[in-house]
Structure 1
Amino acid sequence: MTDAPIKTQRNGHVLEVTLDRPKANAVDLATSRIMGEVFTDFRDDPELRVAILTAAGEKFFCPGWDLKAAADGDAVDGDYGVGGFGGLQELRGLNKPVIAAVNGICCGGGLEIALSADIILAADHATFALPEIRSGTVADAASIKLPKRIPYHIAMEMLFTGRWLDTDEAARWGLINHVYPAADLMGEARKLAELLASGPPLVYAAIKEVVREAEGMKFQDALNKITKSQFETVERLYRSEDQLEGARAFAEKRDPVWKGK
């Protein structure tokens, strides 16, 4: 798909999704709905295994909600589409790896979208913040997610003060995985995506479902759910051709060929 404000490109098993809404890549309701459609198609396409989410330009990844659109009538509680704001936060059954390649300012709802990815890579000039406090609103999704991703006290400081983190500090607290020169960011994201795309998709699906469902469960309850065959993705994995292929490849001392079935 080449139409603005979202551009997509398929590279084998990898889907690149680029947010392109000059000047700042802010997300309005229409853009959010398109993103939901894009990531739903990604989820449901058996040929696609990994997605990279990035943005056009060099200054902004995404500042979140488009306040200008809101002033023109976009309701903050309007229809964000399937998957909620940005198409990722509430998309059910998204059991494939998603990489966020943050190429600039990432704040507010933009940071919440990045937090919905599984791995976050950043250009060395990127910055991160939750400035909602300064406009008297709450960063709702970040208030739920961020204290589980980084140390509680750092998360609360960001939420309470709206202060900015550079990439050095963001990496130190574990908010992002890796930092690269801006010119290298997409190359590194593609390299990682290709590595993941060469891996076992049914295992990734099982990992994502277990991690997601176990987040609010006690350890033993989650483990019992696995042993009682109550995770659909885990059961599909254990009954798959890929499970047998992994064992055969190990025994034959060769690289496995994953088919996702």
Structure 2
Amino acid sequence: MTASPAPASPELVRREDDSGVVTLTLAQSRNRNALGLAMIDTLIVAFADIARDKAARVVVLAGEGPALSAGHDLREIQAHRNDPDRGQAFYELIMTRCATLMQAIVALPKPVIAAVEGVATAAGCQLVASCDLAIAGEAARFALPGVAIGLFCSSPLVAVGRAVSRKAAMEMALTGRLYAAAEAERMGLVNRVVPAGRALAEARALAADIAGRSAATLAIGKRAFNEQIEEPLSVAYALAAKAMVDNLAEADSSEGIAAFLEKRQPHWSA
């Protein structure tokens, strides 16, 4: 099974654009925005479209209903056990596609902010950890609960283990328990907690602020951070130094420094 992702479906994910801020809302509240194959493919296509859209500067990722996402669609997974190969090909496909989605978020040259109300569990928690920033309503809950159903959350740990400490990530996966928003903030999984129902508004406000920065500078900075963060110190500094040299060669850097020295607002190229 190597078919390309299906075209984006507005029935699964809604897109709203406002002054450079793109809000993607998972719109399958009846199944808690489960990351079935169609939902994953729709998100992959949506992020690819955003990557090509010069007007899109920052992305906010939200979920309709009681969850950002409750993770993979277990009914879909279980149904494929009836395939001739007992689901092996489908399971390889969906795990590969899910990894493609998470990496697309990290590789997107624009910041992505998760707005979390309700639950974000398993691959849904992975989605939050893959975003650059996350705002959580105080009633939000996070978990890697796969261990309770005999399916250890190995893939979600790739993202979660890079967002929080190793011991915190392993505790989440080994216990499977629900973590309150305040605990997620202390662990570094989310940036801050806001009153319930305010996560989307706060994420959009943060996105609007970031959207006012140089798009070229944001792209360089995000890429450099993600390239160096897992490297040894000497390699990390070499990567970061090159990124800053590249950044200094950009017109926006010259304009930004000049504006600071001249005590005026900068005029970005894009």
Moved over 4 A (4+): none
1:97-176 equivalence runs, <5 A:
97-176=111-190
**Structure-2 separation of matches of 1:179 and 1:225:** 33
Q: Which stretch of structure 1 is more off in the superposition, 215-224 or 46-55?
A: 215-224
**Structure-1 separation of matches of 2:161 and 2:215:** 29
Query: Which residue identity lines up with residue 9 of structure 1 in the other structure?
Result: E
Distance change (3 Å), C-alpha of 1:223 and 1:39: same
Normalising by structure 1, we get a TM-score of 0.89
Cα distance per residue 1:66-93 (max 9 Å; x no partner): 1112233383322578xx4286412273
Distance change (3 Å), C-alpha of 1:88 and 1:137: same
Query: Which residue identity lines up with residue 62 of structure 1 in the other structure?
Result: S
Cα distance per residue 1:208-233 (max 9 Å; x no partner): 11111113321212222444x4x5xx
**Structure-2 separation of matches of 1:78 and 1:2:** 19
**Structure-2 separation of matches of 1:140 and 1:259:** 42
Match of 1:180 among 175, 194, 218: 194
**Structure-1 separation of matches of 2:211 and 2:137:** 22
Match of 2:63 among 47, 55, 68: 55
Look up the match of 1:238: 248
The structure with the largest helix share of the pair is 2
Look up the match of 2:268: 258
Q: Tell me, what secondary structure is at the counterpart of 1:51?
A: strand
**Structure-1 separation of matches of 2:158 and 2:95:** 19
Unaligned runs of 5+ in 1: none
Do 1:39 and 1:87's aligned partners in 2 also have CA atoms closer than 8 Å? no
Do 1:54 and 1:61's aligned partners in 2 also have CA atoms closer than 8 Å? yes
Cα distance per residue 1:179-229 (max 9 Å; x no partner): 1122322211111000000012222212211111113321212222444x4
Match of 2:110 among 91, 96, 101: 96
Give aligned-pair identity as a percent.
Answer: 29
Distance change (3 Å), C-alpha of 1:100 and 1:86: farther
Q: Kindly indicate whether residue 86 of structure 2 is the aligned counterpart of residue 76 of structure 1.
A: no
Unaligned runs of 5+ in 2: 1-7, 81-86
Look up the match of 1:221: 235
Q: Alpha-carbon deviation of 1:155?
A: 1.7
Do 2:23 and 2:59's aligned partners in 1 also have CA atoms closer than 8 Å? yes
Distance change (3 Å), C-alpha of 1:154 and 1:79: closer
Match of 1:15 among 8, 22, 30: 22
Q: Tell me, what secondary structure is at the counterpart of 2:61?
A: strand
Look up the match of 1:33: 41
Look up the match of 2:259: 249
Count of residue pairs brought into register by the alignment: 253
Q: Tell me, what secondary structure is at the counterpart of 1:258?
A: coil
Normalising by structure 2, we get a TM-score of 0.86
Do 2:116 and 2:200's aligned partners in 1 also have CA atoms closer than 8 Å? no
Q: Tell me, what secondary structure is at the counterpart of 1:77?
A: helix
Do 2:228 and 2:240's aligned partners in 1 also have CA atoms closer than 8 Å? no
Do 1:100 and 1:114's aligned partners in 2 also have CA atoms closer than 8 Å? yes
Q: Which stretch of structure 1 is more off in the superposition, 91-100 or 69-78?
A: 69-78
Cα distance per residue 1:3-55 (max 9 Å; x no partner): 21110011111100000113111111011011001011112212111000001
